[in-house]
Amino acid sequence: MTLWPPGLGVWRVAFALLGVLLAGTLLPRFPLAPDLLAVLVVSVGLSAGPVAGAAAGLAVGWLLDLVPPGGQPLGAGAISYLLVGLLGGVTARWWRTSALAPALIAAAAAAVVQVIRLLGRAALGAALPVGAAAGIVALTALLGALLLPPLVVWQRRLATRRWA
């Protein structure tokens, strides 16, 4: 019996931890920052399938929920990134059909995260920064268009060498 879920190797866990640390320390300093974690989780789903993507998303979401400042209901990050990983795995069949597909998948992933965050803020009675959420989705789409193809190729190479 293996310690890691299928397709979720040490390299992916290390990059998830690095992404969570960046999301908790460096990225909040910018007024608008792309959702780097959504791109990382989608890349796991695209390269290893929906189960590994969902497991990576759940782990990343739990870690993100625990890193201060929380700012959202506990578990909302885990649910949103689980859905993002599942989305990445489900769209793995057709993500190479168009040059726009990586950007669209990243935008859909960021939209899932932002909608869940906005719903959490609405449930708490806080202000809803819809414009900022739309900006984050747009920046994440751009980041996904640039990073998803090399990330997926790199993860598949690691998997063929049994390093993932």
pLDDT surpassing 90 at residue 126 = no
Q: Is residue 164 part of a domain?
A: no
Q: Tell which residue, 43, 38, 45, has the closest CA to residue 23.
A: 38
Q: pLDDT tens digit string along 10-53?
A: 666 777 777 777 777 777 777 888 898 999 999 989 988 899 89
The CATH number assigned to the domain holding 123 equals: 1.10.1760
Domain range for 35 is 10-93+100-159
Most confidently modeled range among 79-88, 115-124, 153-162: 79-88
pLDDT surpassing 60 at residue 135 = yes
pLDDT surpassing 70 at residue 89 = yes
Q: Tell which residue, 126, 164, 111, 123, has the closest CA to residue 5.
A: 164
Q: Specify the pTM.
A: 0.85
